[in-house]
Structure 1
Amino acid sequence: MSETEQRTSIPAATVVVFRNAADGGPPEILMTVRAKAMTFAGGMAVFPGGRLDNADRDLAARLGSDDEDETAHRIAAVREALEETGLAVGIAQQPTADEVRRARELLLESGALAPVLEAMGWTLELDRIVPFARWNPRNERIPRIFDTRFYLADLGTGAVELEIDDTETTHLFWTTAAGALEAADRGELALIFPTRRNLERLAGFASYAEARAQAEAIPVRTITPWMEDRGGETWLRIPSDAGYPVDSEPLTSVARG
């Protein structure tokens, strides 16, 4: 058994938060730049997210879902968005900016979402957290292997406040998916392989509704990139039928997380 096969993937969730563009153009998505000191994807631009916690699983069990594992991952996406960005997604209520700020303070104190929901009188509406993709890049070059589920969420309006979690994040910004790719091509952003592929996929959508429709039409399956030799050059590949417009990249140009 190889070293990669022996290593256990860490369950994680990340969320692509959409908002309407003020100029009526393509929707904007929220991205973060991870602190350079972070072991995984340090200095890289990513979507908000992080590892699944035991408290997420405990809350999922209390909610009594038919699929507690999936529910726990959606809870993690809600929790991480609130913790890292100060945004409340997947909540049935429409909280004010002050309420969301208070909820974030409570979350940072407790480290769990359940007591925050109780204190704020909020209920989860996890249908608003839409499964989009799942990546598990089992590669020995990666210091930690995360089995990450990607979700979509929609804010609609852009009138929201953002707050950095400066322990993990150095910068928060709204951009179109195409804009993020262009910035990366100019050397202004660094993107790991899964983020780039997902941005390319997201760039094809003219609205959140289009993104959600495709996400619901293409069943999520775990994507594990593999290496392939092409004329003496090594390429990193993913399946060609998983909804991604670009399914390979030369290994020499792939940013390491």
Structure 2
Amino acid sequence: MSDDPAAQPVEPRAAATVLLIRDEPGTGDLQVFLQRRVAGMAFAGGMTVFPGGGVSAGDEPDPARWRGPEPERFGARLAQPADLAAALVTAAVRETFEECGVLLAAPAGTEPGRLDAAATWRDDLVARRITLPGLLAAHDLELRADLLVPWSRWITPPRNPKRYDTAFLVARVPDGQVADDATTEAVEARWWSPAEALSGYEDGDLELMPPTLRTLQELHRHDSAGEVLAAAAARDIEPITPEVRREGRVVTITLPGDPDWIYEETTR
């Protein structure tokens, strides 16, 4: 974070994050998929996060392979132009497939399920040998935008040297698909209940960034994946830019409109 108040803010990069949820087999309790990122990564190293990442040049969907609400509807919810909203949804699907092997796509007229060739497709996508729209076209699949519901939008504070304007979207893991830890970006990836993750944060076992912490606190209010999806559809989404104050090595982060929510960290 820059200490020069006169520094020109960096333009935030568009990004998408997916709150991948399920009802725990056996108990039916709500769970969310989280990844602990490799410590040496340039962004959020060592942090426990939801799957996601920045919009790439290839994240321009084919309208003929888009199933679900039109991009204009996503744009209205996220206060973004329709073309950018379409790219955000595409990036969300791509990143979820790359990072945990869950593909929110299916042949026309069917539901997403087990895909025997998914490992090869995923390798090609990660290696940038193909874009997601190219992969869908090659295997006659539709992007299932109807399985994603906007949850929130977070914008990194202006003084940060690396900034993102991130759409948070919710999706239930499709039946027959398994979220895994086969990504080089994480040292651990698994299902957590929101309560378990929050307890790990309180005990110092998990490092969470403010958007992740706040989102887990919100998810903790719900008991099932169905409740979360219903709540997502009813939410009023206002872009959130945290407010940052530094006193010595202590950085305090608050949220506009919620003065009681406070996040503190000590810098080196």
Give the TM-score range, shorter chain: 0.7 to 0.9
For this pair of structures, how many residues does the alignment match?
Answer: 245
Measured after TM superposition, the shift of residue 125 of structure 1 is 1.6
Given the two structures, how large is their TM-score scaled by the length of structure 2? 0.80
Measured after TM superposition, the shift of residue 235 of structure 1 is 4.3
Unmatched segments (≥5 aa) in structure 1: none
Q: What's 2:261 paired with?
A: 248
Whole-Å separation in 2 of the counterparts to 1:117 and 1:78:
11
2:142 counterpart SS class: coil
Letter in 2 for 1:35: V
Q: What's 2:211 paired with?
A: 194
Unmatched segments (≥5 aa) in structure 2: 73-81
1:73 counterpart SS class: helix
Given the two structures, how large is their TM-score scaled by the length of structure 1? 0.84
- Mean Cα displacement is larger for which, 195-204 or 150-159? 150-159
Q: Which of 167, 175, 179 is residue 196 of structure 2 equivalent to?
A: 179
Q: What's 1:115 paired with?
A: 134
Whole-Å separation in 1 of the counterparts to 2:197 and 2:58:
33
Higher share in helix:
1
In structure 2, the CA distance between the partners of 1:153 and 1:111, relative to structure 1 (3 Å rule), is: same
1:127 counterpart SS class: helix
Q: Which of 54, 57, 64 is residue 57 of structure 2 equivalent to?
A: 54
The 4+ residue runs of structure 1 with deviation greater than 6 A are none
Whole-Å separation in 2 of the counterparts to 1:4 and 1:197:
28
Superposed CA deviations along residues 191-211 of structure 1, whole A, max 9, x for unmatched, are 111110111011111112221
Compute the RMSD of aligned alpha carbons: 2.8
Give matches, 1:66-215, under 5 Å. Answer: 66=72, 67-91=82-106, 93-109=111-127, 110-140=129-159, 142-155=160-173, 157=175, 160-166=178-184, 168-215=185-232
Measured after TM superposition, the shift of residue 107 of structure 1 is 1.4
Whole-Å separation in 1 of the counterparts to 2:216 and 2:124:
32
Whole-Å separation in 2 of the counterparts to 1:154 and 1:127:
11
What is the aligned-residue identity percentage? Answer: 30
Measured after TM superposition, the shift of residue 255 of structure 1 is 7.2
Letter in 2 for 1:254: E
In structure 2, the CA distance between the partners of 1:4 and 1:47, relative to structure 1 (3 Å rule), is: farther
